[in-house]
Amino acid sequence: MRASLILGALLSGLALAAALVSFLWTPADVTQLAIAQKLLPPSGQHWLGTDHFGRDMLSMIMVGARTSIAVALVAVGIGMGFGVPLGLLAAARGGWIDEVVMRGNDLVFAFPSLVIAILITAALGPSALNAIIAIGIFNIPVFARVTRGGALPIWTLDYIRAAQVAGKGASRISIQHILPNIANLLIVQGTIQFSLGILAEAGLSYVGLGAQPPTPSWGRMLAEAQTMVALAPHVAVIPGLAIVVTVLGLNLLGDGLRDALDPRLRGSP
C-alpha cells in the first residue's frame, strides 16, 4: 500500500504546511473584523468565503491548523514521554510492578479525555492548555500499553537471553534491544494518537473546553457556525473538511508506515 503512504504524507503535509505558512503569511488578517463582508460564499477574493464576522475563512483555517497541530503534537509527546518508559518498565520487571502499572493504566482509561478536560476546566477554568493536558494524560496509558505489548514478546526471544548471558541488565537491554525493535510500533501509534488528538481537540474546543477566543481553532469555528448552518453552509462545511483531511491524512500515513516499516514485509534473505 504505497498509495496510502504517499496520499497520507501529502494530506498531512498540507495541514502542516498551512500551519507553518500561517506564521509568515495569510491571505487576510484574521484579527480584522469586517461585518459588512460577513458570510460571503467562496469567491475569487475569499477563496473559502468569510465567516459571520467577515473574516477570511482560508486564513482562519490556516491559523486554526496551528492550534490543532500544536495541541495534538504536545499531547503525543506527553503520552510517549510518560507511557513508553512505563511500558518498558512493566515489561522488563513483570510481577507486581507490571500489575501496578497496568492497573494504573486501566484506571486512567476510565477517564476519557473529555472527562479529564471537564474536571480540569471545572477546577481551573477553560484554556487550550487544558486540552493538551487532558489529551496528553489519555495518551499515556495508550503508549504504555503499546510499549508493553510490543516488548513482552521480544523479552521471550533468545537474543535477549544472549544479552543477559553477556551480562547486560534489564535497563540496558530495554534501551539497546527492546526500544529499537518497537520503534515502528511507536511511530505508527504516534501518528494514530496524533490524528485522535486533532479530533479530540476539535471536540473540546467545540464544547468550549479547549482553545478560547481569540485563538482560532477548527472546533470553535464549528461551534460558532452551528447557528448559521442553514444560512451559509460553507462556514460549517469548511472547518469540518479541514479536520477530515488532516485526520484522514494522518491515518493513511500511519497505515502506510505500518506496512513500510514492517520487517516481515521488508528485505529478503
Partner 1 sequence: MIRTDRLAVGIGGHDILRGIDLALPPGRITGLVGESGSGKSMAALAIMGLLPQGMAAEGRVELDGQNLLELPERELCRIRGKRIGMIFQEPMTALNPLMTIGDQVAEVLRIHQGLDRKTAQERARDRLDRVGLAAPRFPLTLYPHELSGGQRQRVAIALAIALRPDLLIADEPTTALDVTTQARILDLLKGLVRDEGMALLLITHDLAVVAGIADHVAVMQRGTIVEEGPTEQVFRQRRHAYTRALFAASTHQPRLVLPPAQPRPLLQVEGAVREYPLPRRGLAAPREILRAVDGVGFRLDAGESVGLVGESGCGKSTLTRAILGLDPLQGGRILLDGQEVRAGRAMAAELRARMQVVFQDPFGSFDPRWRVERLVAEPFHLTGLPRDWREQVAEALYEVGITGDAMRRHIHEFSGGQRQRIAIARALIIKPRLIVLDEAVSALDVRVRAQVLDLLARLRGSHGLAYLFISHDLSVVRQITDRVLVMEKGRIVEAGPTHQVLGQPQHPYTQSLLEATPRIPAAWQAHIPVNGLALSPPAP
Partner 2 sequence: MLRYVIRRLISLGLSLLLASALIFSVVELVPGDPASFMLGTGAQPETVAALRQQMGLDLPLPLRYLHWLGGVLAGDLGHSFTYKTPVAGMILDRMQVSLPLALMALALAVLIALPIGMFAAARRGRAGDTGVMAATQVGIALPNFWFAMLLVLLFAVKLRWLPAGGFPGWDHPAAALKSLLLPAVALALPQAAILARVLRSALVETLGQDYIRTARAKGLSAGQALSRHALRNALIPVLTIMGMQFSFLLAGAIIIENVFYLPGLGRLIFQAITQRDLIVVQGAVLVLVAAVILVTFLVDLSYALVDPRLRR
* Span from 63-71, 84-92, 181-189, 245-253 in contact with partner 2 (CB under 8 A): 245-253
Which of the residues 118 through 177 are near partner 1 (CB under 8 A)?
Answer: 157-159, 161-169, 177
**Nearer CB in complex with partner 1: 32/176:** 176
If one asks whether residue 95 binds partner 1 (CB under 8 A), the answer comes out as no
Q: Which does 255 bind (CB under 5 to 8 A by kind): partner 1, partner 2, none?
A: partner 2
Please count the other Cβ atoms lying within 10 Å of the Cβ belonging to residue 189. Answer: 25
If one asks whether residue 153 binds partner 2 (CB under 8 A), the answer comes out as no
- Tell me which of 180, 213, 214, 230 binds partner 1, using CB under 8 A: 180
Q: Which does 161 bind (CB under 5 to 8 A by kind): partner 2, partner 1, none?
A: partner 1
* Span from 59-67, 153-161, 175-183, 219-227 in contact with partner 2 (CB under 8 A): 219-227
* Span from 17-25, 77-85, 174-182, 247-255 in contact with partner 2 (CB under 8 A): 247-255
- For the CB of residue 123, give the shortest distance to partner 2 in the complex, in Å: 5
Q: Which residues bind partner 2 (CB under 8 A)?
A: 103, 106-107, 109-115, 118-124, 195, 199, 202-203, 206-208, 219, 222, 225-226, 229-230, 233, 236-237, 239-240, 243-245, 247-248, 251-252, 255
